[in-house]
């Protein structure tokens, strides 16, 4: 199977037909994905940002936490290419520190929300018996008052979590779970709706008639066809999660005030928009690029995984 | 269908009861206090605060308070606000028109923008049109409302002096002049909210259209030699509208929940603003009422969405 | 200035980012409610900018000299201005004064102004124009009853059916009739309040503005914009934003706002003298535990010396916001502390203090003695300024070998006695907040720092001494202060108490902030004389353009 990549251009036309049957779904998907220019661009951008976030703080000497009122709100310069904030801290360094946390929170929270939502939606849509109870649970979560709920969660868990697994990891898990557990409902509704329609389709009934087990029907036949709404929800969710994190910080539920995140830097910058607009540029641009890259990747993935594409 | 709706309505009652119970428990456990405003004020010493809590009935155990509240609530009596001492229903009625005029209109604007944008984006997939629409949508949902709100204020209120960012709930539209005033004071919050809604809806509509484009009946239509326009409008659109209608219906309760951030930025006295200040003030009667109404709407619109689904898509069977 | 004609001005626009929700000062949920009711409901007298009473409903301020106050300081006789009328045209009399006392001192009325009732034995009407207040004991603070924003007089006719348990949901709470310069037109709780001139107001030339619109909601930053940048608003309440946000608005060529300067709100870092270690379980931060390192005076002194008050005041507050402050009592102000080392920013001295007293740096750069490490948790409310203060202090403290973990919680949660991250339970080492003082500091000094007021489980975390500071020497001074009736001696005692707290670093004062709040108003607005002891709107009848 690995030979597929090494086929010489001359014989590509003929062998492709032969080899296609041998390629697994995932290899096939990667093949399509790698030809999608936008998707690959997205992947590269995301990789660059991730690398910047992981390595940047070690390379860029300024720690981003040094307070220097002499540099307060000064614009971009050679020493500080993105300028400084009100306490005179280097914004590039802060953005790199912030991107690390924001990316981790955004991706983990969305993975959690999508996994939960897809599972609940799939089960509800596929097994008619469980539909009602699961959807009523969804209603319950949709209508819970978020803010008091958050306050109760802090009240009950913050201390314990931070004590057992440390301040940073504890806060991280807390935030990811809060965003994840409060955002799975739309995905569940979408997946369920998709399942309700698809399970009546011919190909599913065909699979059922040849005695395919439920698991196989769900994972092989219906789920790949429902990926589109899931991916849309996921890619929209990441931007949302990065912003939501900043809101949580301002409720005292998020990271401590000296831990920058992209959302928080943007939030702090807002009040200076008219006389220090440079402050908002780094975090705003970074969030936008992350969202853009992830959406391109999501689109590429969807196309690559779409079973109908091959028709 | 009738039996399905009847059964769902019946199930709605225990659902709402469960929601109200969980919500009440959360509020009872949450560390909020109607007297927090007097903390650190030696003029309101502890005994006085305890006495006020007692007069508000907060000294009773919360399960007992819940039962009392529930019995009154089913008769439509949501009680008296802890902080304004007026009836909770009055407070809600006061906020409703403003909420509809801003958050409701914004949602409609969002849907009106998103429908053609999403359809066009899918029908012209991978063309410049699609890329422009998609890029705008990405910008739309990666820029938070707290940012766009302040940006608009700086441009239109502070630099240009065209619009006000202090929403006046006393304006009533009765002639052209008052209509202009109303538009001038609500256009910024509506734009901020509407564009945000539109960005998200566009992506969902596009996705749902794309789901239906490569289906058999579409190809059949093409094969019959129907024009692309007709195929898209008559066949794809009709079928893709099913999930879209569901999506739009499910978003309606959020309108009544208000838009906390935008309301705060533009000083719009909507239900979102009421909810957030009531939580801050520990004003549980108001919070419980808002949440309960919100729950009723969520359950109701979920039911409507499901019924619409069954009505519009004959393939969906309800058992 | 010639007296302006009544109602010559148009609409006065006021913005409160916390919206008023009730208009009865005795049921108020905060300053915002007190202020909104103050346009209608008035006390006998107000505390002026210098802390001295100014007659409002009273014909003159009773003193021992004019015979209004008895020689033994137990009875005070208040003469009313003649011919006073309520805004509905009915006559105001001492019966209303007596009624207001009955109303607010009925325990079942559950008023927020109940605390002063304990000291007042009776309020009686000796004739329709005279009310006599009798205290339970000789009271040096004889303006306790009748003066200030908590002392509003309600109309008996309107509130007579609202006494006791009926007070809770009395409709009059939302539309009180008063004697003030304005009467209510419309009140939307949590949103907007509109007032019209009171035709029966006692001063024929006042007020200048015909109507007042008090808009509520939003946040401090946008309120500052509305006052300073667009000029949509004439008067903005509590524009408590970092100086870096405010300064560009103030220094702009077309800036439309000004700020009065009157300081009386002590922003301070409270130190926890009990042990907040979570491992203690139910004993956490209980008064009978001892803080592992804050109980060491040298550690406290080091923290105080490494606190750059001047920088915080200059960069975060500026002139409109506050002044660097090292004392605890604001009135009278101690001069003895100026030369104290704990009031001077000196990192080297702070480091030496730790080094000389056995706190040595470990390999991780954190100082320790035995197995006690100088790791600090420092909490405050969510606010741009306070988060900056935290980070500025953290940077300095970490330079001398502390490790500081900062966190915050929203004010609504922080100021409760239930939240684990609230100021009352105080499950942290340090916490920062502010509060103001009366012209007489006794209450403040007593409730915040005496042993009897230490908070904890025993009093359901309701007491005011959240630092759990307990010092018998200090208590002795407060005890004599409470018994003293001579004003000069009282002042000396307050200063003595203040000096004990500062030298012992019972608390680290940072900034004496603008009081009552950092209100900004239009440059064109004239006649505003803010008093740090009064409601922001107490003198609204004197305002003009």
DSSP string of C221-253? HHHHIIIIII---SEES-----HHHHHHHHHST
Instruction: Flag if A86 and C407 touch (Cβ within 8 Å).
Output: no
For residues B84 and C174, the answer to whether their CB atoms sit within 8 Å is: yes
Residue C509 forms beta bridges with which residues?
Answer: C268
Q: What is the mean pLDDT of residues C329-337?
A: 90
Q: Do A250 and C409 touch (CB under 8 A)?
A: no
**Identity of the residue in B80, B273, B282 whose CB atom sits nearest the CB atom of C168:** B80
A193, B243: Cβ pair inside 8 Å?
yes
What pLDDT, in 10s, does the model give residues C29-86? 888 999 999 999 999 999 999 889 999 999 999 999 999 999 998 999 999 999 999 9
Q: What digits encode the pLDDT tens for the residues B216-247?
A: 666 676 677 767 677 666 666 777 777 778 77
CB contact under 8 A, A159 and C395: no
Instruction: Using CA coordinates, name the residue in chain B closest to A291.
Output: B142
Torsional class of C67: left (φ above 0), alpha (ψ -120 to 50), beta (otherwise): left
Q: Which residues of C touch B170 (CB under 8 A)?
A: 186, 192, 194
Q: Which residues of C touch B280 (CB under 8 A)?
A: 410-412
Is residue A231 within 8 A of residue A157, CB to CB? The reply is no
Q: Between B19, B29, B243, which is nearest A143 by CB?
A: B19
Cα→Cα distances B244→B201, B206, B237, B312, C336, Å: 9, 10, 10, 11, 74
Q: What are phi and psi of A109, to 5 degrees?
A: -65, -40
Note the pLDDT of residue B298.
85
Q: Tell if the CB–CB gap between A271 and B150 is shorter than 8 Å.
A: yes
Q: B207–A232: do the CB atoms touch at under 8 Å? A: yes
Among residues C476, C470, C488, C478, the alpha carbon closest in space to that of C445 is found at C478
Q: What is the mean pLDDT of residues A243-250?
A: 77
pLDDT at C385: 92
- Burial of C121 per CB tally in 10 Å (0-12, 13-18, 19+): middle
The β-bridge relationship of strands C182-187 and C403-409 is unpaired
What does the alpha-carbon distance between residue C259 and residue C264 come to, in Å, rounded to a whole number? 15
The closest CB to that of A155, out of C241, C278, C419, belongs to: C419
For residue range B252-288, what is the model confidence (pLDDT) as tens digits?
A: 888 877 788 889 899 999 988 888 888 878 888 898 8
Pairing verdict, β C430-436 and C257-258: unpaired
Computed over every residue of chain B, the mean pLDDT equals 84
Partner residues linked to C194 by β-bridges: C186, C213
Test B298 with A232 for CB contact under 8 angstroms: no
The chain-wide mean pLDDT, for chain C, equals 92
ipTM confidence: 0.86
Report the alpha-carbon distance of residue C389 to residue A33 in Å, rounded.
50
**Candidate from B37-51, C321-335, C508-522 with smallest mean pLDDT:** B37-51
Helices (H) and strands (E) in chain B, counts: 14, 0
Looking at the complex, report in whole angstroms how far the Cα of residue C447 sits from the nearest Cα belonging to chain B. 7
Do A148 and B208 make contact, defined as CB atoms within 8 angstroms?
A: no
Residue C22 at interface with chain B, using a CB cutoff of 8 Å: yes
The counts of H helices and E strands in chain A are: 14, 0
Q: Which two three-digit tokens encode residue C280?
A: 């203690």
Q: How far apart are CA C379 and CA A188, in angstroms?
A: 39
Residue of A209 and B184 predicted with greater confidence: B184
> Which chain B residues have a beta carbon less than 8 Å from that of A273?
150-151, 154
Residues A113, A183 contacting (CB under 8 angstroms): yes
Q: Are C29 and B37 an interchain contact pair (Cβ–Cβ within 8 Å)?
A: yes
Angstrom distance (rounded) from CA C227 to CA C520 = 7
Q: Which of A136, A189, A231 sits opposite B250 (nearest CB)?
A: A189
Kindly list the distances between the CA atom of residue C80 and the CA atoms of C126, C135, C160, in Å, as whole numbers in the listed order: 12, 19, 21
Instruction: Kindly state whether C313 is in contact with chain A, defined as any CB-CB distance less than 8 angstroms.
Output: no
| pLDDT for A24 | 67
Q: Which chain A residues are Cβ-neighbours of B316 within 8 angstroms?
A: 196-197, 200
User: Mutate which of A143, A244, A309 to disrupt the B interface (most B C-beta within 10 Å)?
Assistant: A143
Q: What is the mean pLDDT of chain A?
A: 81
Neighbour order of strands in the sheet with C520-522: C182-187, C192-197, C209-216, C9-16, C235-236, C520-522, C257-258
Query: What is the average per-residue pLDDT within B209-219?
Result: 69
C-beta separation of C261 from C319 below 8 A: yes
The minimal CB distance from A155 to the residues B11, B31, B207 is found for B31
Given 3-state DSSP classes, what are the helix, strand and coil percentages for chain A, each rounded to the nearest 5? 80, 0, 20
CB-based contact A228 B144, cutoff 8 Å: no
Q: How far apart are CA B73 and CA B233, in angstroms?
A: 47
Report pLDDT for B309: 74
- Range with the lowest mean pLDDT among A158-172, A272-286, C324-338? A158-172
Q: Which tokens in the block code for residue C226?
A: 């509305």
- Domains of chain B with bracketed CATH: 97-281 (1.10.3720.10)
**CA terminus-to-terminus distance, chain A:** 22
pLDDT for A166 equals: 75
* Alpha carbons C543 and C545: distance in angstroms, whole number: 7
Beta bridge mates, C197: C182
- What is the structure's pLDDT at B218? 65
Q: Where are the alpha helices (DSSP H) in A167-201?
A: 167-181, 185-198
Gap between the Cα atoms of B185 and B167, Å rounded: 6
Residue C168 contacts B, CB cutoff 8 Å? yes
Determine whether the interchain pair B170/C29 forms a contact, defined as Cβ–Cβ distance below 8 Å.
no
DSSP string, B247-275: HHHHHHHHHHH--HHHHHHTT---HHHHH
| B6 in contact with A, Cβ within 8 Å | no
Q: What is the pLDDT of residues C412-469, one digit of tens each?
A: 778 877 777 889 899 999 999 998 888 888 889 998 999 999 999 888 887 889 999 9
Digit-coded pLDDT (tens) for A13-32: 444 444 444 566 677 778 88
pLDDT band at A308 (very low <50, low <70, confident <90, very high): low
pLDDT of residue B232: 66
Phi-psi sector, A217: left (phi>0), alpha (psi -120 to 50), beta: alpha
Rounded to whole angstroms, the Cα distance separating B41 from C318 reads: 25
For the residues A183-207, what does the mean pLDDT come to?
A: 85
Residues B205 and A44: their CA atoms lie apart, in Å, by 28
Domains of chain C: 1-30+180-261+516-545 (3.40.190.10), 41-173 (3.90.76.10), 263-438+505-514 (3.10.105.10)
**Chain CA centroid to CA C364, Å:** 42
Across the interface, do B302 and A273 touch by the CB < 8 Å criterion? no
Q: Decide if B4 touches A, using CB distance below 8 A.
A: no
- Report C:192-251 residues touching B (Cβ under 8 A): 192, 194, 215-219, 222, 225-226, 229-230, 232-233
**HEC profile of A106-124:** HHHHHHHHHHHHHHHHHHH
Angle at the Cα of C441 from the Cα atoms of C439 and C445, rounded to 5 degrees: 165
pLDDT tens-digit profile of C224-281? 999 999 999 999 999 989 999 999 999 988 999 999 888 899 999 999 999 999 888 8
In this prediction the pTM is 0.88
Size of interface B-C (CB pairs under 8 A): 181
A250 pLDDT exceeds 70? Answer: no
End-to-end Cα spacing for chain B? 9
**How deeply is C339 buried, as exposed, middle or buried, from its count of CB atoms within 10 A (0-12, 13-18, 19+)?**
exposed
Tell which C residues from 254 to 293 touch B, by Cβ distance under 8 Å: none
B90 closest CA partner among C500, A181, C191: C191
CB contact under 8 A, C150 and B157: no
Distance, first Cα to last Cα, chain C: 11
Distance from CA of A271 to the nearest CA of C (A): 7
Q: Do B141 and A236 touch (CB under 8 A)?
A: yes
Confidence of residue A47 (pLDDT cuts 50, 70, 90): very high
Average pLDDT over residues C124-146: 91
Contacts of C207 (CB under 8 A, 6+ apart): C6, C7, C181, C182, C197, C201, C540, C541, C542, C543
- In the predicted model, is pLDDT for residue C1 greater than 80? no
pLDDT at A8: 39
Structural domains of chain A, ranges and CATH numbers in brackets:
25-67+79-304 (1.10.3720.10)
Asked if the C-beta of C403 comes within 8 angstroms of chain A's C-beta atoms, the answer is no
Q: How long, in residues, is chain C?
A: 545
Identify how many contiguous H helices and E strands chain C contains and give both numbers.
Answer: 14, 21
pLDDT of residue A68: 85
Say whether pLDDT at C285 is over 90: yes
The tokens for A170 are: 């504890």
Secondary structure of B22-72 as H, E, C letters: HHHHHHHHCCCCCCHHHCCCCCCCHHHHHHHHHHCCCCCCHHHHHHHHHHH
In this prediction, residue A15 carries a pLDDT of 41
Query: Would you say residue A167 has pLDDT above 80?
Result: no
Q: Check C311 against A69: CB less than 8 A apart.
A: yes
Query: What is the distance of C-alpha A70 from the center of its chain?
Result: 38
pLDDT of B314 strictly over 60:
yes
Please state the rounded mean pLDDT for residues A47-62: 83
| A-proximal residues of C, 333-392, CB under 8 Å | 382, 384, 387-388, 390-392
Distance CA C478, CA C442 (A): 8
Q: How far is residue C83 from each of residues B115, C1, C146, C180, C196, measured CA to CA in Å?
A: 69, 27, 19, 14, 21
Cα distance between residue C395 and residue A245, in whole Å: 25
């Amino acid at each position: 199977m690995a030979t597929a990549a090494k086929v010489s251009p001359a014989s590509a036309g003929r062998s492709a037909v032969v080899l296609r049957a041998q390629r697994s779904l995932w290899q096939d998907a990667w093949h399509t994905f790698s030809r999608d220019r936008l998707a690959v661009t997205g992947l590269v951008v995301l990789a660059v940002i991730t690398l910047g976030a992981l390595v940047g703080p070690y390379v860029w000497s300024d720690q981003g936490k040094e307070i220097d009122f002499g540099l307060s709100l000064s614009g971009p310069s050679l020493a500080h290419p993105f300028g400084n904030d009100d306490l005179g801290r280097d914004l590039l360094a802060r953005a790199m520190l912030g991107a690390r946390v924001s990316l981790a929170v955004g991706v983990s929270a969305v993975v959690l929300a999508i996994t939960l939502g897809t599972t609940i939606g799939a089960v509800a849509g596929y097994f008619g018996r469980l539909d009602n109870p699961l959807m009523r649970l969804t209603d319950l979560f949709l209508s819970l008052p978020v803010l008091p709920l958050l306050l109760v969660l802090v009240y009950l868990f913050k201390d314990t979590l931070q004590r057992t697994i440390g301040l940073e990891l504890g806060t991280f898990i807390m935030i990811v779970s809060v965003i994840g557990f409060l955002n799975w409902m739309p995905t569940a509704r979408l997946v369920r709706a998709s399942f309700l329609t698809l399970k009546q389709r011919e190909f599913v009934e065909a699979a059922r008639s040849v005695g395919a087990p439920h698991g196989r029907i769900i994972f092989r036949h219906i789920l790949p066809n429902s990926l589109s709404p899931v991916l849309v929800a996921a890619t929209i969710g990441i931007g949302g999660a990065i912003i939501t994190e900043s809101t949580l910080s301002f409720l005292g539920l998020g990271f401590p005030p000296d831990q920058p995140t992209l959302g928080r830097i943007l939030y702090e910058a807002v009040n200076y928009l008219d006389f220090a607009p440079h402050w908002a540029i780094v975090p705003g641009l970074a969030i936008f690029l992350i969202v853009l890259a992830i959406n391109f990747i999501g689109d590429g993935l969807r196309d690559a995984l779409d079973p109908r594409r091959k028709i | 269908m009738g039996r399905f709706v009847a059964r769902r309505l019946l199930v709605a009652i225990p659902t709402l009861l469960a929601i109200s119970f969980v919500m009440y428990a959360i509020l009872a456990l949450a560390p909020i206090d109607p007297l927090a405003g007097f903390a650190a004020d030696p003029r309101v010493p502890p005994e006085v605060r305890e006495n006020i809590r007692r007069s508000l009935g907060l000294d009773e155990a919360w399960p007992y308070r819940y039962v009392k509240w529930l019995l009154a609530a089913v008769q439509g009596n949501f009680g008296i606000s802890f902080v304004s001492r007026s009836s909770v229903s009055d407070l809600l009625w006061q906020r409703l028109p403003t909420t509809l005029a801003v958050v409701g209109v914004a949602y409609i604007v969002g849907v009106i923008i998103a429908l053609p944008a999403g359809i066009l984006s899918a029908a012209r997939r991978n063309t410049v049109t699609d890329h422009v629409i998609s890029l705008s949508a990405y910008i739309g949902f990666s820029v938070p409302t707290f940012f766009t709100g302040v940006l608009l204020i700086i441009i239109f209120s502070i630099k240009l002096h065209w619009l006000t960012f202090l929403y006046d709930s006393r304006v009533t539209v009765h002639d052209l002049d008052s209509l202009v005033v109303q538009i001038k004071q609500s256009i910024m919050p509506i734009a901020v909210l509407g564009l945000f809604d539109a960005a998200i809806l566009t992506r969902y509509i596009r996705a749902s259209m794309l789901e239906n484009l490569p289906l058999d009946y579409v190809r059949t239509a093409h094969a019959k030699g129907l024009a692309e326009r007709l195929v898209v409008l008559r066949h794809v659109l009709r079928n893709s509208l099913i999930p879209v209608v569901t999506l739009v219906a499910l978003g309606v309760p959020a309108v009544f929940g208000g838009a906390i951030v935008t309301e705060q930025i533009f000083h719009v006295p909507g239900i979102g603003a009421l909810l957030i200040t009531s939580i801050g003030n520990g004003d549980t009667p108001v919070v419980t009422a808002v949440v309960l109404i919100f729950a009723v709407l969520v359950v109701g619109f979920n039911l409507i969405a499901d019924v619409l689904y069954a009505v519009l898509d004959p393939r969906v069977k309800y058992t | 200035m010639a007296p302006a004609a009544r109602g010559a001005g148009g609409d006065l626009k006021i913005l409160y980012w916390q919206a008023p929700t009730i208009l009865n000062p005795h049921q108020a949920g905060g300053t915002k409610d007190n202020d909104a009711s103050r346009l209608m409901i008035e006390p006998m007298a107000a505390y002026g900018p210098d802390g001295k009473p100014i007659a409002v409903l009273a014909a003159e301020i009773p003193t021992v000299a004019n015979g209004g106050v008895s020689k033994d300081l137990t009875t005070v006789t208040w003469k009313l201005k003649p011919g006073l009328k309520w805004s509905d045209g009915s006559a105001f009399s001492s019966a209303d004064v007596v009624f207001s006392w009955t109303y607010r001192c009925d325990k079942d009325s559950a008023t927020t102004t109940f605390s002063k009732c304990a000291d007042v034995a009776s309020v009686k009407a000796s004739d329709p124009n005279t009310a006599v207040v009798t205290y339970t004991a000789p009271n040096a603070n004889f303006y306790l009853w009748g003066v200030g924003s908590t002392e509003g007089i309600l109309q008996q006719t309107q509130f007579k059916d609202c006494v006791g348990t009926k007070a809770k949901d009395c409709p009059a709470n939302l539309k009180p009739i008063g004697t003030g310069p304005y009467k209510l037109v419309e009140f939307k709780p949590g949103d907007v309040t509109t007032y019209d001139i009171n035709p029966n107001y006692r001063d024929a030339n006042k007020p200048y503005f015909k109507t007042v619109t008090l808009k509520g909601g939003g946040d401090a930053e946008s309120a500052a914009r509305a006052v300073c940048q667009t000029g949509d608003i004439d008067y903005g309440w509590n524009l408590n934003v970092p100086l870096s946000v405010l300064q560009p608005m103030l220094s702009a060529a077309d800036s439309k706002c000004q700020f009065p300067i009157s300081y009386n709100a002590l922003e301070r870092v409270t130190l926890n003298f009990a042990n907040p270690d979570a491992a203690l379980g139910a004993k956490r931060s209980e008064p009978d535990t001892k803080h592992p390192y804050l109980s060491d005076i040298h550690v406290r002194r080091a923290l105080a010396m490494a606190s750059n008050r001047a920088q915080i005041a200059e960069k975060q507050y500026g002139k409109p916001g506050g002044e660097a402050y090292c004392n605890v009592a604001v009135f009278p102000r101690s001069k003895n502390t100026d030369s104290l080392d704990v009031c001077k920013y000196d990192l080297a001295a702070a480091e030496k203090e730790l080094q000389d007293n056995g706190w040595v740096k470990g390999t991780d750069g954190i100082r320790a003695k035995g197995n006690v490490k100088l790791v600090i948790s420092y909490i405050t409310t969510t606010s741009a300024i306070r988060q900056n203060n935290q980070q500025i202090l953290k940077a300095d403290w970490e330079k001398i070998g502390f490790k500081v973990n900062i966190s915050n919680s929203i004010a609504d949660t922080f100021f409760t006695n239930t939240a684990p991250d609230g100021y009352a339970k105080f499950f942290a080492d340090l916490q920062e907040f502010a509060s103001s003082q009366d012209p007489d500091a006794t209450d403040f000094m007593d409730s915040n720092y005496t042993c009897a007021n230490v908070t904890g489980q025993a009093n359901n975390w309701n007491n005011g001494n959240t630092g759990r500071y307990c010092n018998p020497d200090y208590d002795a001074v407060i005890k004599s202060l409470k018994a003293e009736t001579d004003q000069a001696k009282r002042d000396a005692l307050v200063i003595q108490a203040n000096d004990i707290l500062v030298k012992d670093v019972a608390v680290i004062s940072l900034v004496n902030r603008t009081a009552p709040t950092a209100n900004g108003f239009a440059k064109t607005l004239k006649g505003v004389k803010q008093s740090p002891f009064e409601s922001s709107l107490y003198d609204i009848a004197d305002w003009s353009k």
